[in-house]
């Protein structure tokens, strides 16, 4: 069939949580400034106008920092998300077999919650339904559609897509690649990236408890790796927690192959009984842990965003929170340049954006890496210092507050997404 040519101001490749968040953040500008946006997603997008929550014991979840709540409120989706969110009222950090622990409490820090846990499918529904409810003629969906090529250039970049056998060429001053951590587009574009292999896997599942979790999240460090338990909504009348268990690459196949009873016994032995007895486990998933950082996050007319730009170790759960800060900052840049009549794909402007993002990325990476190395060390002196440090943090409120505010992302400036600001 003949090729079709369509022109936009912005093309977003990837309709997951990052790509959809960017479109949501730009909706006011799309309406007021005449910003035309194309959203391309490989999978079929939901067509319902209202989000539909479908409880599932096996649903995957994401931890949202308190600072991310502020951004999502500014985007106008927080009230809908809050219908199925679990507030984190307390975070307990400890190391197995050692004295000392730190407890951060929302009440003590005078905040509503230290963070929130949301099921990914619910967040995706809320973001997409928000876009559909606005029903802006400025937003066009291409789904299911596959990006065949991207040719970044000035004044217009071109994206060739294929949907149901039909090839189309889309053009825009700016293209955003937000197709996830295993970005095929990043590879196809020849974008170099650094990679640090942790030689570990993240084992992800939901587990049921014999008691309510009371909004407590746990980060438990063991000699094999950290174990995180996050409070999530009950399902089937059972209290649930989201599990992220770091397992060495030598043991991951063995642990994944255990039957449910043996798995729960192994996990209980590794974690202990701080959260109670584990009574059920849902479907298990695992993936290799690597720190991946795209070396080239902008070209003329092109930006790499979200996990396509950076994939982190899940320790401290900062991956999506880092990504959404990038979403907000890019949205601000697009709005400011559209208002000023400036080229959205200007390389100098995009490089400035990337340098600002790199500072945040490096800070977040250093925090995760240093925490991992500190708690994985078997050096007796380091272990003693670590235990003393945890104990001191719990005894010195100002130090604990600094750590809590960093974890909550409360140093994030308010996003300016209103074109009238």
Which CATH number covers residue 23?
3.50.50.60
Whether 126 is in a domain gets the answer yes
Contact 421, 336 (CB under 8 A): no
- pLDDT (tens digit, 9 = 90+) per residue, 83-116? 999 999 998 888 776 655 778 888 888 889 989 9
The span from the CA of 409 to the CA of 406, in Å, is 5
Whether 295 is in a domain gets the answer yes
- Using alpha carbons, select from 100, 93, 72 the residue that is nearest to residue 403: 93
Whether 224 is in a domain gets the answer no
Supply the range of the domain harboring residue 386. 4-62+118-195+290-393
For 141, half-sphere exposure in the C-beta direction (CA atoms, 13 angstrom radius) is 18
83: its two tokens: 């219908």
| Number of structural domains in the chain | 1
Whether 297 is in a domain gets the answer yes
Q: Which residues of the chain register pLDDT less than 70?
A: 1-5, 47-49, 97-100, 315-317, 367-415, 421
- pLDDT of 414: 58
Whether 138 is in a domain gets the answer yes
- pLDDT (tens digit, 9 = 90+) per residue, 181-230? 788 899 899 998 888 888 889 899 999 999 999 999 998 888 777 899 99
**DSSP letter string, 38-103:** EEE-SSPPP--SS------TT--EEEEEHHHHHHHHHHT-HHHHGGGEEEE-EEEEEETTSS-EEE
Whether 248 is in a domain gets the answer no
Whether 270 is in a domain gets the answer no
The span from the CA of 304 to the CA of 177, in Å, is 5
pTM score, two decimals? 0.88
Whether 258 is in a domain gets the answer no
- pLDDT of 400: 44
């Amino acid at each position: 069939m003949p090729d079709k040519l369509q022109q936009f101001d912005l093309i977003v490749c990837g309709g997951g949580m990052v790509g959809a968040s960017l479109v949501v953040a730009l909706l006011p500008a799309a309406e007021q400034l005449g910003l035309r946006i194309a959203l391309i997603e490989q999978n079929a997008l939901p067509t319902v106008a209202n989000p539909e929550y479908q409880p599932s014991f096996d649903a995957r979840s994401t931890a949202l920092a308190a600072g991310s709540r502020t951004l999502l409120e500014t985007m106008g989706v927080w009230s809908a998300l809050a219908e199925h969110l679990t507030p984190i009222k307390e975070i307990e950090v400890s190391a197995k077999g050692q004295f000392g622990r730190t407890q951060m409490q929302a009440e003590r820090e005078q905040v509503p919650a230290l963070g929130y846990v949301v099921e990914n499918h619910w967040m995706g529904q809320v973001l997409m339904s928000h876009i559909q409810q606005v029903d802006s003629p400025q937003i066009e969906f291409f789904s299911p559609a596959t990006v065949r090529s991207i040719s970044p250039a000035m004044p217009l970049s071109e994206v060739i897509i294929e949907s149901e056998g039909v090839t189309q060429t889309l053009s825009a001053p700016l293209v955003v690649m937000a197709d996830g951590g295993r970005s095929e587009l990043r590879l196809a574009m020849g974008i170099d990236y650094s990679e640090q292999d942790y030689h570990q896997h993240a084992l992800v599942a939901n587990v049921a408890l014999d008691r309510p979790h009371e909004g407590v999240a746990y980060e438990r460090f063991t000699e094999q790796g950290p174990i995180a338990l996050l409070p999530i909504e009950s399902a089937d009348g059972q209290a649930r927690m989201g599990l992220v268990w770091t397992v060495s690459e030598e043991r991951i196949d063995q642990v994944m192959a255990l039957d449910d009873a043996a798995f729960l016994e192994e996990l209980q032995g590794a974690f202990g009984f701080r959260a109670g007895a584990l009574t059920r486990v849902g479907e298990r998933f695992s993936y290799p842990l690597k720190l991946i950082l795209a070396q080239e996050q902008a070209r003329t007319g092109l930006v790499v965003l979200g996990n396509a730009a950076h994939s982190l170790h899940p320790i401290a759960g900062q991956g999506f929170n880092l990504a959404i800060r990038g979403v907000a900052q890019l949205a601000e840049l697009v709005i400011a340049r559209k208002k000023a009549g400036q080229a959205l794909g200007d390389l100098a402007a995009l490089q400035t954006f990337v340098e600002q993002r790199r500072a945040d990325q490096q800070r977040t990476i250093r925090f995760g890496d240093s925490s991992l190395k500190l708690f994985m060390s078997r050096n007796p002196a380091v272990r003693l210092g670590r235990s003393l440090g945890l104990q001191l943090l719990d005894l010195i409120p100002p130090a604990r507050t600094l750590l809590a505010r960093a974890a909550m992302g409360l140093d994030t400036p308010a996003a300016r997404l209103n074109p009238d600001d």
